[in-house]
Structure 1
Amino acid sequence: MENDPRFADFVILQAQNAGMFLGQIPNPTTGQPEVNIQAARSVLDSLEMLENKTQGNRTNGEDKLLQTALLNLRRLYAKVEAGQEPREEG
């Protein structure tokens, strides 16, 4: 099975959206970081649905990308939901 670049593009776009909703990426309209926990939850739910619906149909690369995105977003979501100040880790 071959990697489909559209899958990676979609996962990355959704992860960026979630990052914006969790205050990690400035809102392009205001230039300021903003938190919208409901929107972030919606994006996370969509990625989890994608994970379930594509089970067994992803390449190793696609699976690694999706699992990494979900792991990072779940951690960040939990921190923001708990009221902790999110910070970049690296």
Structure 2
Amino acid sequence: MKCNPDLSDAPIDFSSFVISLSSSVLISLGEIPNPDTDETMVDVCLAKQTIQILEMLQEKTRGNLNDGEQELIDSILFDLRFKYVQHVKKTSH
């Protein structure tokens, strides 16, 4: 697998890490295609596990983030939880 030259030198910080995990959830829910294969897949268990990892990060970093980082993780988790519940409801009928 080749590295994206635009990303290989990009600095990794808390926000980019959270966004990367968020993208993984969206891929696992079939919301966006996998960038490596350009295929859509669904793995609800992986999506749930990644959301739980983000929740753990939110809890463990509480009080140590700047306002922008805190707002980012809070809003991303809100959106991902909503998408997860919507997906589970849609597929359980």
TM-score (norm 1): 0.82
Q: Which residue in 2 is equivalent to 1:49?
A: 56
Instruction: Give the Cα separation in 1 of the matches to 2:60 and 2:39.
Output: 35
Q: Which residue in 2 is equivalent to 1:6?
A: 13
Instruction: Give the Cα separation in 2 of the matches to 1:29 and 1:61.
Output: 30
Q: Specify the code of the residue in structure 2 equivalent to 1:28.
A: P
Instruction: Give the Cα separation in 1 of the matches to 2:34 and 2:73.
Output: 23
Q: Which has the larger radius of gyration?
A: 2
TM-score (norm 2): 0.80
Instruction: Give the Cα separation in 2 of the matches to 1:55 and 1:66.
Output: 10
Q: Which residue in 2 is equivalent to 1:76?
A: 83
Q: Which runs of 5+ in 2 are unaligned?
A: 1-11
Deviation of the 1:28 alpha carbon: 3.0
Q: Which runs of 5+ in 1 are unaligned?
A: 85-90
Instruction: Give the Cα separation in 2 of the matches to 1:26 and 1:75.
Output: 19
Deviation of the 1:29 alpha carbon: 4.2
Does residue 27 in structure 1 map to residue 13 in structure 2? Answer: no
CA RMSD of aligned residues (A): 1.3
Instruction: Give the Cα separation in 2 of the matches to 1:14 and 1:28.
Output: 14
